[in-house]
């Protein structure tokens, strides 16, 4: 039997990898993938606790997170394509129209 | 135990490669590996519903969408100015701080419940009953959200001929 904390540490590792990708990458699509990685890391925590307590709620929450992530993926990638069409770049330091 | 020892490094390696690789297409493939590893971990945790939903939604749909977006935006070409931002050190420090806090919280907490449980494992049928019973209103709301986001995505990405941008 694997201790609960191992799964939680793996979840934290994935979340932090997502943070690293979100903060250090320049490409908008890679940043988007990092967000998905963070969402997945949190899902692993939910599933771990659902397994530990034998509750349905955890998996239902995972389901809702996945649905919202799918909606976010559709709209986010559409926005990325629209930005590329308008600016011809996806480097976040060059998409600074709203920067003061 | 053995399965976790195989899957956990695979998932972390996929995530690490997704963050570190220079070619965006390779990043997308690496993140798909991480998604698949997570799906197998879900299955190992007796969460069949979450595991198969993960395979369908992430490995099936999101990974393909990301690859489509990469190819549509020609971002697979590595830019000459580098793939990492100038303030990458700050990002690493922030992520390390977050990981330190999370690891401290996880390792500092007691084990909540003993592993021996009398209750049976969660069956997919139970999730179905819960979704159709107690959680039917959130289910309807996310259905509306999905429809709205699909229409919104089509409108945002639609190519406008001439006219106002």
B72 and B12 within one domain:
yes
Q: Give me B71's structure tokens.
A: 């190819």
- Which residue from A20, A73, A84 is facing B65, i.e. has the nearest CB? A73
Report the alpha-carbon distance of residue B110 to residue B93 in Å, rounded: 28
Asked casually if ipTM beats, i.e. exceeds, 0.95, the reply is: no
Q: What are the tens digits of pLDDT across the range B41-53?
A: 999 988 889 999 9
Count of structural domains within chain B: 2
Residue B165 confidence (pLDDT): 46
Report the alpha-carbon distance of residue B66 to residue B72 in Å, rounded: 10
Between residues A33 and A93, which one has the greater pLDDT? Answer: A33
The pTM (predicted TM-score) of the whole model is 0.89
Contact with chain B for residue A36, Cβ under 8 A: yes
> Within a domain: residue B50?
yes
Does B113 have pLDDT greater than 80?
no
Q: What are the tens digits of pLDDT across the range B68-96?
A: 999 988 766 777 777 788 888 999 999 99
Query: How many other CB atoms are found less than 10 A from the CB of residue A80?
Result: 24
Does B55 have pLDDT greater than 90?
yes
Does A99 have pLDDT greater than 90?
no
The CA distance from A99 to the nearest CA of chain B, in Å, is 17
Check which CATH number belongs to the domain holding B53 and give it.
Answer: 1.20.120.1200
- List, in order, residues 6 or more apart from B94 with CB less than 8 Å away: A19, A23
Q: Round the average pLDDT of chain B to a whole number and report it.
A: 86
The yes or no reply on domain A4-94 and CATH 1.10.287.3510 is: yes
Run of H or E including A69: helix A57-87
Q: Which residues of A touch B11 (CB under 8 A)?
A: 10, 14
- From B31, B66, B16, B53, select the one nearest A61 (Cα to Cα): B53
> Within a domain: residue B114?
no
> Within a domain: residue B16?
yes
By residue range, what is the domain housing residue B162? 123-165
> Within a domain: residue B109?
no
């Amino acid at each position: 039997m694997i201790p609960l904390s191992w799964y939680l540490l793996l979840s934290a590792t994935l979340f932090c990898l997502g943070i690293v990708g979100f903060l250090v990458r320049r490409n908008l699509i890679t940043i988007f993938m990092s967000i998905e990685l963070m969402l997945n890391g949190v899902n692993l925590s939910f599933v771990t606790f659902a397994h530990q307590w034998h509750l349905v709620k955890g998996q239902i929450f995972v389901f809702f997170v996945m649905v919202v992530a799918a909606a976010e993926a559709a709209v986010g990638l559409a926005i990325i394509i629209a930005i590329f069409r308008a600016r011809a770049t996806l480097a976040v330091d060059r998409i600074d129209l709203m920067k003061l | 135990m053995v399965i976790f020892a195989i899957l956990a490094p695979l998932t972390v390696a996929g995530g690490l490669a997704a963050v570190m690789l220079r070619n965006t297409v390779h990043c997308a493939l690496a993140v798909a590996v991480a998604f698949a590893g997570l799906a197998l971990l879900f299955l190992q945790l007796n969460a069949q519903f979450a595991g198969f939903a993960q395979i369908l939604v992430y490995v099936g749909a999101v990974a393909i969408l990301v690859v489509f977006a990469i190819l549509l935006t020609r971002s697979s070409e590595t830019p000459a100015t580098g793939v990492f931002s100038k303030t990458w050190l700050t990002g690493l420090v922030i992520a390390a701080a977050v990981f330190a806090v999370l690891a401290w919280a996880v390792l500092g907490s007691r084990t909540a419940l003993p592993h021996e449980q009398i209750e049976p494992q969660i069956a997919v049928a139970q999730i179905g009953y819960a979704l159709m019973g107690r959680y039917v209103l959130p289910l309807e709301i996310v259905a509306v959200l999905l429809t709205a986001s699909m229409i919104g995505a089509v409108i945002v990405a639609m190519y406008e001929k001439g006219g106002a941008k």
